[in-house]
Chains A and B, each alone.
Chain A
């Protein structure tokens, strides 16, 4: 299971992987207020990201139902609170 501190790096790197796979990103980092749906990701990409994050981080904040989030920072917080 990923540590509280490690969550940020995992969320960021896996999001970058998906963006690179779609040929959408050249930068190596994403800021905390980066918004998922404004940058060319569709709902299937987002669904993929959440399943990869569940596998890597070891928890699923959405197990009890979908919680809304729009930025990287908000998603990181959801995983962090599930780890507690």
Chain B
């Protein structure tokens, strides 16, 4: 991996250059000479960059981008890997975080190397996540500046966005919805490159972003720490072209759909063609005439009174209602019917809550009975989890 000389990390505290990074990596390697495993705590963009440099310079070492203290909430609890290499942790959206071996050169090759050198990024992802590593590698190989908000609550990130006016921002659809809600349209003219990833990106959101930012390139990407970067969609439409299933273009990993409708992605194993080489992504898709669209997560399908309901599908239906600015559906377990749905909803600011509830009741009544959210909470804001994805833990379930 080649690091471009103009790469730097800017935060409210300081500006750090490539030579600062190289020096920090050298000091780390010297001090940790005797350690069998090198843990780099992903506390900032700087720490992640240091881990990437160490991984590039010391392929013989086992380097883990994670906390070494078991007391830390995102501590590495997985068994230590037998093979040396660079490891990141999965976000744990679908269970306990797992260690995944990453190939630095493949990662550097898969990110978009930009010709412009004056681009500035805002890091919206929590440092250490696979998405943050992708953003940092993109900036490193292209020689861009990264603005690191240091704190990862939405308000700090939004304030950093407004103050630093970045040209490149990559975030989850949840992040972008919140940013659309809580920033002025006039503050968006500096944005040239918008990336969405990590959750389903729907057409409504793509359209809203295109309206807010007509001159920006908008892409949604499909990537995971296990499958790596799989593809980027740049045509402004949700899902991806059906033709990619049979004839994947350059830069699109071979993909397939299982008989149950689960998206499968080919793992990078040379000369392997059988189904074993495909990773089950846990994402359900619908194959239409020309387009493959995402329906929801397999583990976000629940039974309500015996009927299978997709949480994301219900969210998508309700998001189309004009008065709803944002929504998350949370399943609540029930001894009678398995689950029922509850919803947290952000409504248009000019509406009174009583009036909104009456209108909502009319709209919700149009859904099939199992898909109706039964308990509605009107909120100002929907919080993202640490990974930037929304957490749908059913309250009181202990899941």
Q: Do A and B bind each other?
A: yes
Which A residues contact B (CB, under 8 angstroms)? 21, 42-44, 46-48, 50-52, 54, 60, 62, 65-66
A42 to B374, CA, bound (A): 13
Main secondary structure of the interface of A (DSSP, over half): helix
Q: Which residue of A lies closest to B333 (CB)?
A: A51
Q: Which residue of A lies closest to B304 (CB)?
A: A44
A10 to B370, CA, bound (A): 25
Interface size on B, residues (CB 8 A): 16
Does B305 reach chain A (CB closer than 8 Å)?
yes
Whether B374 pairs with A44 at a CB distance below 8 angstroms is yes
Identify which of B7-15, B91-99, B205-213, B334-342 touches chain A: B334-342
Whether A44 pairs with B396 at a CB distance below 8 angstroms is no
Considering residues A43, A47, A60, which has the most beta carbons from chain B within 10 angstroms of its beta carbon?
A: A47
A52 to B304, CA, bound (A): 17
Does B316 reach chain A (CB closer than 8 Å)?
no
Q: Which residue of B lies closest to A18 (CB)?
A: B374
Does B165 reach chain A (CB closer than 8 Å)?
no
Whether B304 pairs with A54 at a CB distance below 8 angstroms is no
Query: Which residues of the other chain, B, contact A48 by a CB distance below 8 angstroms?
Result: 340, 374-375
A60 to B333, CA, bound (A): 11
Main secondary structure of the interface of B (DSSP, over half): mixed
A44 to B375, CA, bound (A): 12
CB distance from B360 to the nearest CB of A (A): 11
Whether A43 pairs with B305 at a CB distance below 8 angstroms is yes
Does B369 reach chain A (CB closer than 8 Å)?
yes
The number of A-B residue pairs with CB atoms under 8 Å apart is 40
Known: A52-B375, A54-B396. A47 touches B361 (CB 8 A): no
Query: Which residues of the other chain, B, contact A54 by a CB distance below 8 angstroms?
Result: 396
Q: Which of B305, B335, B361 contacts A50 (CB 8 A)?
A: B335
User: B360-382 toward A: CB 8 Å interface, digit per residue (1/0)?
Assistant: 01000000011010110000000
CB distance from A54 to the nearest CB of B (A): 7
A5 to B335, CA, bound (A): 25
Whether B370 pairs with A44 at a CB distance below 8 angstroms is yes
Whether A47 pairs with B396 at a CB distance below 8 angstroms is no
Query: Which residues of the other chain, B, contact A52 by a CB distance below 8 angstroms?
Result: 375
Whether B335 pairs with A66 at a CB distance below 8 angstroms is yes
Q: Which residue of A lies closest to B337 (CB)?
A: A47
Does B332 reach chain A (CB closer than 8 Å)?
yes
Closest 7 CB pairs of A and B: A47-B334, A48-B374, A62-B335, A66-B335, A47-B336, A47-B337, A47-B340
A21 to B375, CA, bound (A): 12
Whether A51 pairs with B375 at a CB distance below 8 angstroms is yes
Query: Which residues of the other chain, A, contact B305 by a CB distance below 8 angstroms?
Result: 43-44, 47
A42 to B334, CA, bound (A): 14
Whether B336 pairs with A46 at a CB distance below 8 angstroms is yes
Query: Which residues of the other chain, B, contact A46 by a CB distance below 8 angstroms?
Result: 336
Query: Which residues of the other chain, B, contact A51 by a CB distance below 8 angstroms?
Result: 332, 334, 340, 342, 374-375
A66 to B342, CA, bound (A): 21
Interface residues in B295-354 (C-beta closer than 8 Å to A): 304-305, 332, 334-337, 340, 342
Considering residues A21, A44, A65, which has the most beta carbons from chain B within 10 angstroms of its beta carbon?
A: A44
Query: Which residues of the other chain, A, contact B337 by a CB distance below 8 angstroms?
Result: 43-44, 47
